Amino acid sequence: MDSELKEEIPVHEEFILCGGAETQVLKCGPWTDLFHDQSVKRPKLLIFIIPGERKSLDSNAQEIKDIYGLNGQIEHKLAFLRTHVPKDMKLVLIGHSIGSYFTLQMLKRVPELPVIRAFLLFPTIERMSESPNGRIATPLLCWFRYVLYVTGYLLLKPCPETIKSLLIRRGLQVMNLENEFSPLNILEPFCLANAAYLGGQEMMEVVKRDDETIKEHLCKLTFYYGTIDPWCPKEYYEDIKKDFPEGDIRLCEKNIPHAFITHFNQEMADMIADSLKDDLSKM
């Protein structure tokens, strides 16, 4: 990236109620309220990142049915846009892993969203249970899910918060990751249960690639596949490339893993920034 883009960008964390669920939001930039901020500092474009990790907070999830399921998570993202982002604000969607599936479904359900570009990174949008990792995850998440629930509850519920915090900090140190915001709740039994529940639905329901939606929005889609990705192997890239030869469908040449955030976040950020230059120049 250009040196002038490497300035310090303010990042702050908020917890909001969205669709009945307490939702963690990380905001990057000198703004807090897009609806009521009419100053010149209000951005013309919002980059909306839909991560692949499945971390949920405790809630009274009544407003969106089955909010921790696959459909509920899609509606949750759309609810956030409806309630926190002006309708006329241009959007860049960045979906990683199952977030790519959410992104396609959002475009399908609300095709009038003012999206100028959508990045689907290491996209798990088809045949998840047939992938190398899916063959392992499917029996665990679909057949032995309740065993995981009970084991997680028995091991983690009585565990003191100080021990959980120590384990997380140690894990982040081993992975050489910064811990700017506390991820302590990832070791809460209800978080693990919600993640397993959603993961089981992914294995069962993310089967057929949605070629109709891809075709309709192809001009604004960028796919980025990995060469060593056990969730969406190289053959998935070859299949979609053959079916949509005119699309912006890329294969990673740097052996970046599916979980790129651990060590390759800067490389991915640079790729996205370079890809957005043409789109941004037209605004």
Residues serving a catalytic function are 97, 229, 258
The single-letter code of the amino acid at 211 is D
Q: Which amino acid is at 176?
A: N
Please tell me the number of Cα atoms within 13 Å of 163 on its side-chain side.
7
Compute the half-sphere exposure of residue 194: CA atoms within 13 Å on the CB side of its CA. 21
58 is written with which tokens? 């405790």
Task: For residue 105, give the nearest of 248, 208, 250 by alpha carbon.
Answer: 208
Residue 81: how many CB atoms within 10 A of its CB? Answer: 19
- What is the spatial distance between Cα 250 and Cα 34, in angstroms, rounded to a whole number? 33
Residues 20, 84, 199, 239: what is their CA dihedral angle, to the nearest 10 degrees? 150
Give the dihedral of Cα atoms 222, 228, 234, 237; nearest 10 deg. 0
Residue 77 · residue 50 · CB < 8 Å: yes
Please, what is the Cα angle at 46 between 40 and 48, to 5 degrees?
155
Q: Give me the residue label for tokens 């978080």.
A: 191
Cα 126 to Cα 53, 61, 233: the distances in Å are 17, 28, 11
CB 34 within 8 A of CB 89: yes
> E-assigned strands of 55-106?
90-96
d(CA 168, CA 173): 9
